[in-house]
A and B are shown apart, each in its own frame.
Chain A
Amino acid sequence: MSIVTHNTGLGAPTVPIVRITPPARWWVVPMRELWDFRELVYFFVWRDVKIRYKQTAIGAAWAVLQPLLTMLIFSLFFGRLAHIPSEGLPYPIFYYSALLPWMYFAAALQNATNTIVENQRVITKVYFPRLALPLASVLSGLVDFAVSFAMFVVLMVYYGIRPTPALLWFPAFILLAILTALGVGLWLSALNALYRDVRYVLPFLVQFWLFASPVAYPASLVPQKWRWLYGLNPMAGVIEGVRWSLTGHTNPPGRLIFVSTAAVLVLLASGLAYFQKVETTVADVV
């Protein structure tokens, strides 16, 4: 069937044919469609960042203040008073390097959990692949991450720590952090659309997860034989990895990272499937 197309400004030569049917194949991720809507993902990220910085008095400074103040508190209580080992690193570097990925992760979960509910007006009025929302909410945290990273560079210079070739691994660990946030974020955003209880559970989840991750202590405190189990928390692999790649001083995460990567892939696949399943009805119940 051929149809004369009009100039739509996109200059697309073919007419897309969409078949609307009852929901069936929720396990198929619409990669192609998501790619078509990549600009929308960009605009959602852009909106999140703009609004966050416009609504606060000191805007981007929060991205530095939050990890900086937390780092000071951790250095004082866990470091100076509790004498938690820091694997030879100055406490500020030890904590800040872990807080970088951790704060990103915690904020991304927060954003992802609320994204479907906050955008319910848009969801019930216009179609776009709903995956764009959790994806954008996870990506928008990267701006804050970049700002707080700048502070880390200052700390590194102050303490005279030179990066080592391990730094080359840094992007890989950040990717792992993004995928972890996305995997968990998909679950939370879909669950929160159905059960608003999730947002009350979230603060506890984040706090619990913080203690279960090597932020305030090094992973080497965990007994060797349980280390692989510890890796099931993907943030354990991420944080150990980031700390190692940025400073080059601590031990590389080793086998931990393989367990963490496997855990992330399971989280991501199950999160995508669950999200897709909820997506088919989300406009009806949200």
Chain B
Amino acid sequence: MTESVIHVEGLGKRYRVGERERYFALRDVLARAFSAPFKRNGVRRSKDYIWALRDVSLDVHQGEVVGLIGRNGAGKTTLLKLLSRITRPTTGFAEIHGRVGSLLEVGTGFHPELTGRENIYLSGAILGMSRVEIDRKMDAIVAFAEVERFLSSPLKFYSTGMQMRLAFAVAAHLEPEILLVDEVLAVGDLEFQKKCLGKMQEVSRSGRTIVFVSHQMGQMRRLCERVIWIDGGQIREQGRAGEIIAKYESASLQPDAAVAGEARCFLSWSIAGKGNIVTDDAQDLSFRFNLFLPEAISQGHFGMAILNESSAVLTGWGFDNIDIPAGSQEIVLRIPSLPLKPGGYSISCSIYNRGNNLTGGQLVEQWYALPPLIVDTKPVAHPQDRWAGVLNIPAVFQVLTK
């Protein structure tokens, strides 16, 4: 039996409402002092606070690859931030045996004015590498990122893809005993993603411990032995990856018994009246969303996007000034055709109340981990993968002789 390298007991993190979003200006402090001069300092109403994480206890053993899953805002990132010491807990404690490398963002510390090489040093140092270590790994990092020719140009001249590759290459060469990773594999093209996943598997085989967050359940299944499902700041369930992911996926489809009591926004969807699969014989192409709203939406916004496996948005729709009554409702989005290449796609939806994301509307809910859209039509585009692209548009070939 291996020993536990991360031991967490009763860990909790409480934020003051709004604290994460903004700093205070002095005038706010003054305004607060004037508006409530008789309120005793230090005694605050409990509704001013939210618990991002509450009473979490867990153990991670050496060499384990553990996945954290859960809806947005469930507390996964907060847990990673606590374990990596970016923020301090309100209650409880955690004990970490070994050096921790945290990868909560790709390209931490990059500066556009510095050259590729300079950024490797800077980012490497910020992530915890020593200068000697970076010197030694420089060639490997550069080869991994495939940026040899641009090493002396400032980062601002790099394409986004190149920046991502460089950033991940630095991170991938971190060699801490414990690696904490947050949803960073969702960047870059598919080819590079595969390379990154390979690197992570290599890291885990070498006996290091990895804790990581992802919304891509496919990645989770491939990489993790054990999955911890976090819901509402608490551990809802943990166990073998396949089992927990299946439970999580079915729970995000419908409101299950555990949460039916509390009024929570949920959404399920189908297309062409056939679950989540589009076939050639589909007659009426429409997305149907079954929605439960605890509160009515007025002058709100509904947005939906279709994304490919590398999280690139292929198409999206946004509808403003919509009104939806509270309770169980159905939304229908009718489209003339869906010319996507056969394969799996993810869809993402969001709903805002009183405006949209740009006009200061209030985000009611956002769904990332909806069941995938499966397109099971006959490929009519180029037979070779690299030329087929993402669209499946039928074409007729003709030679007109003069």
Residues of A in contact, count (CB < 8 Å): 45
Instruction: Indicate if A31 sits at the interface (CB-CB under 8 A).
Output: no
Interface residues of B in 242-288 (CB under 8 A from A): none
Residue of B nearest to A282 (CB): B87
Q: How far is the CA of A125 from the CA of B126 in the complex (A)?
A: 10
Instruction: Indicate if B145 sits at the interface (CB-CB under 8 A).
Output: no
Nearest CB of chain A from residue B111's CB, rounded to whole Å? 6
Residues of B in contact, count (CB < 8 Å): 59
Nearest CB of chain A from residue B181's CB, rounded to whole Å? 12
Residue of B nearest to A20 (CB): B94
Q: Residues of A contacting B175 with CB < 8 Å? A: 6, 8-9
Residue of B nearest to A12 (CB): B99
Residue of A nearest to B89 (CB): A22
Instruction: Indicate if B59 sits at the interface (CB-CB under 8 A).
Output: no
Instruction: Please give 5 more A-B residue pairs, beta carbons under 8 A apart, in addition to A18-B85, A125-B102.
Output: A6-B177, A17-B95, A43-B122, A127-B100, A283-B81
Known: A3-B5, A43-B122, A124-B86. A17 touches B104 (CB 8 A): no
Contact of A6 among B104, B127, B207 (CB under 8 A): B207
* Contact B97 A15, beta carbon cutoff 8 Å: yes
* Contact A5 B177, beta carbon cutoff 8 Å: yes
* Contact B93 A125, beta carbon cutoff 8 Å: no
Contact of B126 among A8, A10, A128, A196 (CB under 8 A): A128
Q: Show 22 A/B contacts (Cβ-Cβ < 8 Å), sorted by A.
A: A1-B97, A3-B62, A8-B176, A9-B132, A9-B175, A21-B89, A22-B88, A22-B89, A122-B126, A123-B86, A125-B108, A126-B108, A126-B109, A127-B84, A127-B102, A195-B25, A196-B23, A197-B25, A283-B86, A284-B19, A284-B87, A285-B23
Q: How far is the CA of A122 from the CA of B122 in the complex (A)?
A: 11
Interface residues of A in 73-128 (CB under 8 A from B): 121-128
Contact of A10 among B114, B133, B207 (CB under 8 A): B133
Q: Mark B103-120, 1 if CB is under 8 A from A, else 0.
A: 011001101011000100
Instruction: Indicate if A54 sits at the interface (CB-CB under 8 A).
Output: yes
Known: A10-B130, A47-B122. A196 touches B93 (CB 8 A): no
* Contact B93 A23, beta carbon cutoff 8 Å: no
Instruction: Indicate if B131 sits at the interface (CB-CB under 8 A).
Output: yes
Interface residues, chain B, with chain A CB atoms under 8 Å away: 3, 5, 15, 19-20, 23-27, 29, 62, 81-100, 102, 104-105, 108-109, 111, 113-114, 118, 121-122, 125-128, 130-133, 136, 154, 175-177, 206-208
Residue of A nearest to B83 (CB): A20
> Inter-chain contact count A-B, CB under 8 Å?
142
* Contact B109 A122, beta carbon cutoff 8 Å: yes
Q: Residues of A contacting B81 with CB < 8 Å? A: 283
Interface residues of A in 172-198 (CB under 8 A from B): 193-197
Known: A8-B175, A39-B125, A43-B125. A195 touches B86 (CB 8 A): no
Q: How far is the CA of A173 from the CA of B85 in the complex (A)?
A: 37
Contact of A18 among B19, B100, B133, B136 (CB under 8 A): B100
Q: Residues of B contacting A20 with CB < 8 Å? A: 82-83, 85, 88-89, 93-96
Instruction: Indicate if A221 sits at the interface (CB-CB under 8 A).
Output: no
Q: Residues of A contacting B109 with CB < 8 Å? A: 122, 126
Q: How far is the CA of A8 from the CA of B85 in the complex (A)?
A: 20
Instruction: Indicate if A19 sits at the interface (CB-CB under 8 A).
Output: yes
Q: Residues of B contacting A281 with CB < 8 Å? A: 87-88
Q: How far is the CA of A21 from the CA of B92 in the complex (A)?
A: 7
Q: How far is the CA of A286 from the CA of B86 in the complex (A)?
A: 12
Instruction: Indicate if A51 sits at the interface (CB-CB under 8 A).
Output: yes
Instruction: Indicate if A280 sits at the interface (CB-CB under 8 A).
Output: yes
* Contact A284 B62, beta carbon cutoff 8 Å: no
Interface residues of A in 1-50 (CB under 8 A from B): 1, 3, 5-6, 8-10, 12, 15-23, 39-40, 42-43, 47, 50
Q: Residues of A contacting B19 with CB < 8 Å? A: 284-285
Q: How far is the CA of A280 from the CA of B88 in the complex (A)?
A: 6
Q: Mark A210-254, 1 if CB is under 8 A from B, else 0.
A: 000000000000000000000000000000000000000000000
Instruction: Indicate if A207 sits at the interface (CB-CB under 8 A).
Output: no
* Contact B177 A15, beta carbon cutoff 8 Å: yes
Q: How far is the CA of A126 from the CA of B25 in the complex (A)?
A: 25
Residue of B nearest to A7 (CB): B175
Nearest CB of chain B from residue A2's CB, rounded to whole Å? 8
* Contact B23 A194, beta carbon cutoff 8 Å: yes
Q: Residues of A contacting B154 with CB < 8 Å? A: 54
Q: How far is the CA of A281 from the CA of B20 in the complex (A)?
A: 10
Report, nearest first, the 8 A-B pairs whose CB atoms are least far apart: A127-B85, A43-B125, A20-B94, A197-B26, A125-B105, A18-B96, A21-B93, A195-B26
Q: How far is the CA of A42 from the CA of B95 in the complex (A)?
A: 29
Nearest CB of chain B from residue A25's CB, rounded to whole Å? 12
Contact of B98 among A3, A43, A280 (CB under 8 A): A3
Q: Residues of A contacting B84 with CB < 8 Å? A: 126-127
Q: How far is the CA of A50 from the CA of B154 in the complex (A)?
A: 12
Residue of A nearest to B108 (CB): A125
